[in-house]
């Protein structure tokens, strides 16, 4: 009872007059302190647990620098998102314009592909990508369900997906198809770093543990994106996302952003 902060509540019930006067009148902060101590212990247990999950290749981190409990962290993160996304859109606009023209020249259909994704706390939003598939790709997906190469079956992945166009194959290889998500970052639907947003049909297959991925704003890149992308099994993706949620900080975000560059150049798991 002492460990979970209930010892003094028990005493208050047993000796109401003396104990209420001593601990609530004499020291009105004692319950608040007990609550904060218990919360701190729980957070520490979670941090230690998520340090041990997903034993595959992953980024190291420095827990002492974590700002996950700091009130200013979300504001700093949002400021960095807006600044970096704005600069990236400005610098990469010639690339995006060229890709748009190539997509339009190769096949019919819109340049951008908009898909419903599930964000923080289950909020559904439209995520943007450069269209890398034929126009009726979603309809063809049902016919290809049996060829799904994802081991877990929750997500759909095919290395040689026949729906992908020639331009689409190139922009997927170099992750250029993800660039329009910078506008999702400016809108606030996404962040630069965070768990990848799933489609609603995937969320319908989630267990209660998998749903923990939806506790924060989703991102363009994350731990498993820089550790193998599509080659990482779904269960390990979830574990790495939960690890990020419990240890996230500006320092961790910066390391993941810088690790994304060599990961894109290596093209590991990019298809």
Query: Where is average pLDDT lowest: 77-91, 197-211, 222-236?
Result: 222-236
For residue 36, pLDDT over 70 is answered with: no
By the 8 A CB rule, do 91 and 179 touch? no
Residue 150: what pLDDT?
57
Residue with tokens 């020639």: 166
For residue 215, give Cα distances in angstroms to 54, 84, 89, 205, 211: 19, 23, 27, 17, 8
Instruction: Give 156's pLDDT tier (boundaries 50, 70, 90).
Output: low
Query: Where is average pLDDT lowest: 55-59, 129-133, 141-145, 245-249?
Result: 55-59
Residue 212: what pLDDT?
87
**Nearest in space to 112 (alpha carbons), one of 124, 101, 100:** 100
Instruction: Please tell me which of 25-34, 159-168, 183-192, 228-237 the model is most confident about, judged by mean pLDDT.
Output: 183-192
Two tokens at 208?
Answer: 């209660």
Burial code of 12-37, b = ≥16 C-beta within 10 A, e = fewer? beeeeeebeeebeeeeeeeeeebeee
Q: Residue 3 has what DSSP assignment?
A: T
What integer is the mean pLDDT of 101-108?
A: 92
2/63 Cα distance (integer angstroms): 27
The region that residue 211 occupies, defined by phi over 0 for left and psi between -120 and 50 for alpha, beta otherwise, is alpha
By the 8 A CB rule, do 133 and 106 touch? no
241/54 Cα distance (integer angstroms): 10
Instruction: Give 59's pLDDT tier (boundaries 50, 70, 90).
Output: very low
Two tokens at 225?
Answer: 């994106």
User: Cα 53 from chain centroid?
Assistant: 16
Query: In the predicted model, what is the mean pLDDT of the chain?
Result: 78
Q: How many CA atoms lie within 13 A of 11 on its CB side?
A: 14
Instruction: Give 244's pLDDT tier (boundaries 50, 70, 90).
Output: very high
For residue 107, pLDDT over 80 is answered with: yes
Residue 49: what pLDDT?
46
Q: Which residues pair with 191 in a beta bridge?
A: 219
Residue 64: what pLDDT?
40
17-33 per-position pLDDT tens digit: 555 555 555 555 555 66
By the 8 A CB rule, do 129 and 113 touch? yes
For residue 47, pLDDT over 80 is answered with: no
Sequence-ordered list of residues with C-beta below 8 angstroms from that of 221, at least 6 positions apart, any chain: 192, 193, 256, 257, 260
DSSP states of 200-247: HHHHTT--TTGGGGGGS--EEE-TGGGTTGGGS-HHHHHHHHHHHHHH
99/245 Cα distance (integer angstroms): 34
For residue 65, pLDDT over 70 is answered with: no
Residue 183: what pLDDT?
97
Model pTM score: 0.68
**Nearest in space to 257 (alpha carbons), one of 182, 197, 189:** 182
What integer is the mean pLDDT of 56-69?
A: 42
């Amino acid at each position: 009872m002492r460990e979970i902060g209930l010892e003094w509540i028990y005493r208050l019930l047993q000796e109401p007059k003396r104990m209420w006067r001593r601990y609530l009148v004499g020291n009105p902060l004692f319950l608040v302190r007990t609550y904060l101590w218990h919360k701190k212990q729980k957070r520490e247990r979670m941090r230690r647990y998520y340090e041990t999950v997903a034993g595959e290749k992953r980024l190291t981190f420095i827990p002492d620098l974590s700002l996950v409990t700091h009130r200013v962290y979300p504001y700093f993160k949002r400021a960095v998102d807006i600044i970096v996304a704005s600069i990236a859109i400005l610098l990469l606009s010639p690339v995006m314009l060229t890709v748009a023209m190539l997509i339009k020249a190769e096949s019919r259909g819109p340049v951008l592909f908009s898909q419903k994704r599930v964000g923080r706390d289950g909020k559904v939003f439209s995520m943007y990508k450069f269209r890398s598939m034929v126009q009726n790709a979603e309809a063809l997906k049902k016919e290809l369900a049996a060829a799904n190469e994802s081991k877990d079956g929750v997500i759909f992945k095919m290395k040689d997906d026949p729906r992908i166009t020639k331009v689409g194959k190139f922009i997927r290889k170099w992750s250029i198809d993800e660039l329009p998500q910078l506008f999702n970052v400016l809108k606030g639907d996404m962040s630069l770093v965070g768990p990848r947003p799933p489609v609603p049909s995937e969320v319908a297959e989630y267990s209660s543990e998998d749903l923990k991925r939806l506790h924060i704003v989703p991102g363009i890149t994350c731990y498993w994106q820089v550790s193998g992308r599509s080659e990482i099994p779904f269960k390990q993706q979830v574990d790495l996302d939960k690890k990020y949620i419990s240890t996230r900080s500006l320092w961790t975000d910066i390391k993941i952003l810088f690790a994304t560059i060599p990961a894109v150049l290596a093209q590991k798991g990019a298809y």
